[in-house]
Amino acid sequence: MNERTMTEQKEQRNWLVLRTFNRRERDVSDFLKEKGLPHFIPMRYKEKATPDGRLQRVLVPVVHNYLFVEEQMPVQEMKSLMAECRYPLHFLSRRDDKQPYVISEREMLEFRMLCDPSFEAKITVNTEGEDVPVGKEVEVIHGQFAGMRGRLIRKQKQYWFIKTIAGISVQLRITRWYC
């Protein structure tokens, strides 16, 4: 298999959204590791107080009870495999046709870059020379987020870039000067 074919296959991979309950995303993650399935939990750092009153930075899920798993087999086979998990879970489905949400590799890459707590690069947003109203569709034109599309909103005198996938949104704070 040549390099181009491998790249095309990688770009064609899809991801599915899993929902678990009672904050069991890390336990389900362990199950998925045992089965050899690539998956992702959106994480962020949060400061929590220790029993002695000091603040400690800990890594916590951005949205509890949600995981993203790479689709490596037909959905019915994946559902059968997930039935082996001892924690309750199901695939997040669209309301209209009950089919699981399918996220492309490109969208997942964008989502993962937004949810990587170690990524601290600035982004620049292309607004084609106009003032950006709240909620306007924008495109990133520089840096590792180049080509990413999302919405720009203003909340509490700060600007935020919002990326939404399968009804789950991640927001990244940006300065007004990059818009």
Give the pLDDT confidence of 5-23 residue by residue, as tens digits.
444 445 578 999 999 999 8
Mean of the pLDDT values across residues 123-145? 61
Class of residue 139 by CB neighbours under 10 A (exposed 0-12, middle 13-18, buried 19+): middle
Q: What is the pLDDT of residue 6?
A: 43
Q: How far is CA 101 from CA 16, 28, 96, in A?
A: 6, 19, 11
Structure tokens at 25: 């995303």
Give the model confidence (pLDDT) of 31-68 as tens digits: 999 999 998 888 877 888 889 988 888 888 888 899 99
Give the integer Cα–Cα distance in Å for 141 and 125: 6
Q: What is the pLDDT of residue 168?
A: 65
Q: What is the pLDDT of residue 139?
A: 78
Contacts of 5 (CB under 8 A, 6+ apart): none
The answer, yes or no, to whether residue 177 has pLDDT greater than 60, is no
Give the model confidence (pLDDT) of 145-156 as tens digits: 667 788 887 777
Task: Write the single-letter amino acid at 170.
Answer: V
User: For 19-28, 100-109, 134-143, which range has the lowest pLDDT when averaged over its residues?
Assistant: 134-143
